[in-house]
Structure 1
Amino acid sequence: MPKLEFFSIIQDKEMIYMTISEETMRARRLFSARLEAKLKEYDIKQNELAKILNISESTVGKWILGKSMPRTMGLIQQIADYFHVGKSYFLEESPSPRPSKQDATPLPPADGLPVIPIDDRNFRVPVVGRVAAGQPIVADEEIIGYEYIDNKYSKDGHEYFGLRIVGKSMEPTIMDGDIVIVRRQDYVENGEIAIVLIDGEEATAKEVKESPEGITLIGHNAAVYTPHFYSAREVQDLPVQVIGRVVQLVRRF
């Protein structure tokens, strides 16, 4: 993965100037091309993206021209989340051999209530208290309420649902009682938080790290849940099944 910024400072007599590395230039060109493609795909203007990200339009313009790129991974992640892709889409030239979030396989529709559009900007999704193997995710008896989320999510062909979190294994990222909005899919990228079914038990929210050898589920509260590795054989035999990716957190005080 390329560094966001890398340059050298050269001093010649009384002049000091910077030379930007070829690595940084390649990273800027890649980011520019990928961002411009997404803006066209979503029919979004530069000034609209600037408002969404709460930055100046001139900054977005410099990104498009390849003169600069976001300086923090947090901002790149924010852009990636908006366009429903992973950070690697903007940072890596070679496509991943595994599917991206955009291409992740939608799971079959749940045998319950569909998402319901509210207006041009919002739609509501059902929130369940638990997800268990062999049961519809949004079965009527499991619905505990509804949440309203940005209508942009309704355009990608995937189903969304809310899940109330019970337990402290993901604190401080996700607290006991929080509601997470989940995009139904069978794949997530390393480092993302997924909803995972294990051995026919109820689903759990964990950070996922996957390798050819297997999958590791990571809680953010090591005092409650230490990282647990499942071999490739266990993933198949138990099984260990990703059923969605957490895309939004709802917390009320």
Structure 2
Amino acid sequence: MNGKRLKALREERGLTQKELAEKLDLTPKAISFYELGLREPSGDALIHMARILGTTTDYLLGNSSNKSPDQKAGGRGVRIPVLGRVVAGIPIDAIEEILDWEEIPREMAATGDFFALQVKGASMEPTLRDGDVVIVKKQPTVDSGDIAIVLVNGNDATIKEIKESPAGITLIGHNVAVFTPHFYSNKEIEELPVRVIGKAVEVRRKL
């Protein structure tokens, strides 16, 4: 994170540390730490920062001298982080957890908050394969039949199809040889807990 650039952009936009912090749902102290180079923002906070300040994440990170989003290659997309794992603290606090970046259309980015997650394992084959990158829209609920990112008992998130019923939800892996459908009662959903943190909206696969 280039703290000097963050401070300069914030002041150009006429924002105090407190005002920027409020827009990001952070504390003024966190903004101060970012500007002093004492702490790195999460990938989610970095993306929000770039949107609010009208710049790119690359510019804030010091990887590009292009301040305007429209000066990026193509100028058509918004970059989102590809995460190797998602835990209870989503968004992940350490920028080092970001594996790569993907670009999504600006029209899509305007509809909500997005991140990307790298698929691990074969439980969702053939729909999703090990190494695929799934574009995820952050949301706490999905419709029955959707593929969701689900956090169970605070452990690493899993990518599964959701089937809802009055008694609870079932997580379904498309490769039944690897993952047997698992049912969670409404009581288990509350007590474990079981939490939906996003909906898979697109898969990207490298040949």
Q: Where does residue 108 of structure 2 map in the other structure?
A: 153
Q: Which has the higher contact order (CA 8 A, sep 6+)?
A: 2
- Alpha carbons of 1:161 and 1:135: their partners in 2 closer, same or farther (altered >3 Å)? closer
TM (norm. structure 1) is 0.54
Spell out the pairing of 1:19-34 with structure 2 (5 A cutoff): none
Match of 2:97 among 142, 145, 157: 142
Shift in Å, 1:121:
2.9
Residues 120, 151 of structure 1: 8 Å contact kept: no
Q: Where does residue 229 of structure 1 map in the other structure?
A: 183
Q: Where does residue 124 of structure 1 map in the other structure?
A: 79
Spell out the pairing of 1:48-87 with structure 2 (5 A cutoff): none
- Alpha carbons of 1:154 and 1:135: their partners in 2 closer, same or farther (altered >3 Å)? closer
Deviations 1:105-127 (A, max 9, x none): xxx89943216555663111011
1:247 aligns with 2:201: yes
Shift in Å, 1:138:
6.2
Shift in Å, 1:139:
3.2
CA distance in 2, matches of 1:179, 1:186: 20
Deviations 1:1-41 (A, max 9, x none): xxxxxxxxxxxxxxxxxxxxxxxxxxxxxxxxxxxxxxxxx
Shift in Å, 1:132:
1.1
Match of 1:204 among 127, 151, 158: 158
Shift in Å, 1:210:
1.2
Structure 1 residue runs without a partner (length 5+): 1-107
Shift in Å, 1:152:
1.4
Match of 1:173 among 106, 127, 137: 127
1:114 aligns with 2:47: yes
Residues 160, 183 of structure 1: 8 Å contact kept: yes
CA distance in 1, matches of 2:95, 2:127: 29
CA distance in 1, matches of 2:152, 2:75: 38
- Total equivalences in the alignment: 145
Shift in Å, 1:134:
3.0
Shift in Å, 1:133:
1.5
Deviations 1:84-117 (A, max 9, x none): xxxxxxxxxxxxxxxxxxxxxxxx8994321655
CA distance in 2, matches of 1:243, 1:139: 19
Structure 2 residue runs without a partner (length 5+): 1-24, 27-40, 49-55, 57-68
- Alpha carbons of 1:138 and 1:206: their partners in 2 closer, same or farther (altered >3 Å)? farther
- Name the aligned partner's letter for residue 177 of structure 1: G
Q: Where does residue 143 of structure 2 map in the other structure?
A: 189
TM (norm. structure 2) is 0.65
Cα RMSD of the aligned pairs, angstroms, is: 2.0
Residues 42, 95 of structure 2: 8 Å contact kept: no
Q: Which of these two proteins has the greater Rg computed from alpha carbons?
A: 1
CA distance in 2, matches of 1:182, 1:234: 25
